[in-house]
Amino acid sequence: MKKAQKDADVLVGYEAGCLGYSLYWQLKEKGIACDILAPSTMHRSAKNKVVKNDKRDAQMIATNLANKSYKSVYVPNDHDVEVKEYIRMMNDFKGESKKVKQHINAFVLRLGYRYEGKSRWIPSHIKWLKELKMDPMYR
């Protein structure tokens, strides 16, 4: 292993994975340059493909950083993160809404009510649901 000069530039990097961007942001706050390496672009030795361990992974990352034989992962800015979180939240809500609608449909069917219209969750279906005669507990 070579010793670095006293005023050498240091580049830190890690392989993209479950850490996401949190480590990147922590390092950046401390003024430490960091790259997140895209695993699909990193050069790997044949031996490293068969035997995986932390030491070999660290050597592979260091070699890729030294040789610049990788592509960095795009690190989103605050706006990108906000958009991503908004889209994730909307998709979650859509999924939850779909499940609730399925539960309601199954519930009224178990009670013996059958909607005769072609489409559900349109104004006429919602009106039909509201007009069903049910015990207050079920309502």
Give the model confidence (pLDDT) of 64-77 as tens digits: 998 888 999 999 99
Q: Is residue 93 part of a domain?
A: yes
Q: Is residue 98 part of a domain?
A: yes
Most confidently modeled of 16-25, 31-40, 81-90? 81-90
Is 40's pLDDT higher than 90? no
Is 98's pLDDT higher than 90? yes
Q: Is residue 4 part of a domain?
A: no
Q: What range does the domain containing 124 cover?
A: 78-131
One domain for residues 85 and 123: yes
- Three-state secondary structure of 26-90: HHHHCCCCEEEECHHHCCCCHHHHHCCCHHHHHHHHHHHHHHCCCCECCCCCHHHHHHHHHHHHH
User: Mean of the pLDDT values across residues 11-26?
Assistant: 87
Q: Is residue 1 part of a domain?
A: no
Q: Is residue 122 part of a domain?
A: yes
* Count of structural domains within the chain: 2
One domain for residues 97 and 63: no
The sign one gets for the Cα dihedral 88, 89, 94, 100 is positive
Is 10 buried (19+), middle (13-18) or exposed (0-12) by CB count in 10 A? exposed
> φ, ψ for residue 114 (rounded to 5)?
-130, 120
Instruction: Report residue 108 CA to chain centroid gap.
Output: 36
One domain for residues 62 and 86: no
DSSP code for 5: P
One domain for residues 62 and 83: no
| CA–CA–CA angle 11, 73, 10 (5° rounding) | 0
Q: Is residue 73 part of a domain?
A: no
Q: Is residue 137 part of a domain?
A: no
Instruction: Examine the fold and report which residue of 36, 67, 98 is the final residue of a domain before the chain moves on.
Output: 67
One domain for residues 85 and 56: no
The answer to whether 66 touches 86, Cβ cutoff 8 Å, is: no
Instruction: Examine the fold and report which residue of 67, 92, 111 is the final residue of a domain before the chain moves on.
Output: 67
pTM of the predicted model as reported, rounded to 2 decimal places: 0.56
Is 123's pLDDT higher than 90? yes
